[in-house]
Structure 1
């Protein structure tokens, strides 16, 4: 298998029904200005789609400009920004796009990340630097500029970071990715305490293995089905999650329904962390 995994769904040979999370909307984010990083695929894409159905005005940001264009070009209520969250000017532009287009930023979903599967012997210093740049520095920068803008506007705002089960518990072959997600979990808690009095809520989701394009590809790679089957067995619900299921949790944390919730890290993991 290639050394990067972006997450999973039903395990090979053990299909389990996932709820339909694609229908229904209640306007929970009507006219809210929302920035979503990593919006061209996986959880970020599902979150952008869900937010649009809930009435949000979205800035969809990603490094993959071609895919962003295919997904969102010409759609009402969407501005796209191509950039790298690890670059300070790009992170600043993503937040500025919301302020310039919509007059404010109400929600940041700090989701962009890369997920290599490496043990500490296999991993190189370059692997460490690459993951920490995107998953660590990138999350710090997007949160920094979002909070700077939210602190200067009426009503504060909400930030939802994408952490992981690997950011709350140890896992094999996560010597690079896991520590980066511990950064996400720690940053969430510290920023929540630091900015609560200014009306800025900061929470995180901690997904288990989630069905993304990468997992779909792994199913046809040598050793992929066997590996995914082993990972699925580690989830008590005996299946992987879907991006839409994570997006539903992100929506809750971003909405007024979570108005007294800050500093929380919400597992969306089929019971993985309950063991």
Structure 2
């Protein structure tokens, strides 16, 4: 699998799945524009062009895509990964919580896809959105995050159909629970560890995934090896959704 010669934008690249994806894309030969609101996290990524910004802000989202065009004259791949992951029941959450998550996870994904497609419509390309098992099936304490991930799954399906004629492929990955820094931090206290252990037990493989395992699936969907795959939501979940 190679991404040599491709110019790729990865949002939310300062940590977690986004960081693992940016690092893997570099290994596979891609020119990578790594974006995030976390400037300090981005600063520790090597061999990438860094763009600090908020995907939910129109001008920032546009600048992320423009950075790729400035480098290579085109954008070949967008990985729309940036998002926030609150754990709340509907009675714990507020309207402000809902607006914040939908702004980042929903609007931010919409904007980056919009500007990527505007640039890809004459050249073709591939987009991978980050959904979740919570964007396919229900889970506790996901009253806000889960619906936002249905947006990611929905965008992949609708945009795939809308832009297939322009040779733009749009797919999603649906990770299970992944051992990102956020999840590792949950394990630091007893209640959080019980939650994480419980989630691991719900996956048939009886473990959590690693960020690079999701990154490999993203790289496949972004590559030419997936040339006849569009509109798919690919679980990377240790069998969670197969139950």
TM norm structure 2: 0.98
User: In the aligned structure 2, how far is the partner of 1:252 from the partner of 1:53?
Assistant: 13
* Partner residue, 2:227: 259
User: In the aligned structure 2, how far is the partner of 1:62 from the partner of 1:225?
Assistant: 28
* Partner residue, 2:183: 215
User: In the aligned structure 1, how far is the partner of 2:19 from the partner of 2:185?
Assistant: 18
Superposed CA deviations along residues 75-117 of structure 1, whole A, max 9, x for unmatched, are 3xx2100000000000000000000112110000000000100
* Partner residue, 1:109: 79
CA RMSD, aligned part only?
0.8
User: In the aligned structure 1, how far is the partner of 2:178 from the partner of 2:150?
Assistant: 18
1:53 equivalent to 2:53? Answer no
5 Å matches for 1:159-238?
159-238=127-206
Partner of 2:82: helix, strand, or coil? coil
More contact order relative to length (CA 8 Å, sep ≥ 6): 1
Superposed CA deviations along residues 1-22 of structure 1, whole A, max 9, x for unmatched, are xxxxxxxxxxxxxxxxxxxxxx
* Structure 2 residue ranges without an equivalent (≥5): none
What's the offset of the Cα at 1:222? Answer: 3.3
- Of 157, 161, 164, the residue aligned with 2:125 is 157
- Of 79, 83, 90, the residue aligned with 2:53 is 83
* Partner residue, 2:67: 97
5 Å matches for 1:128-143?
128-143=98-113
User: In the aligned structure 2, how far is the partner of 1:174 from the partner of 1:203?
Assistant: 23
Partner of 2:44: helix, strand, or coil? helix
User: In the aligned structure 1, how far is the partner of 2:5 from the partner of 2:39?
Assistant: 25
What's the offset of the Cα at 1:245? Answer: 0.2
* Structure 1 residue ranges without an equivalent (≥5): 1-25
Q: Which moves more between the two structures, 178-187 or 223-232?
A: 223-232
* Partner residue, 1:9: none
Aligned residues: 243
Superposed CA deviations along residues 116-168 of structure 1, whole A, max 9, x for unmatched, are 0001100000100000001000000000000000013x3x0000000000000
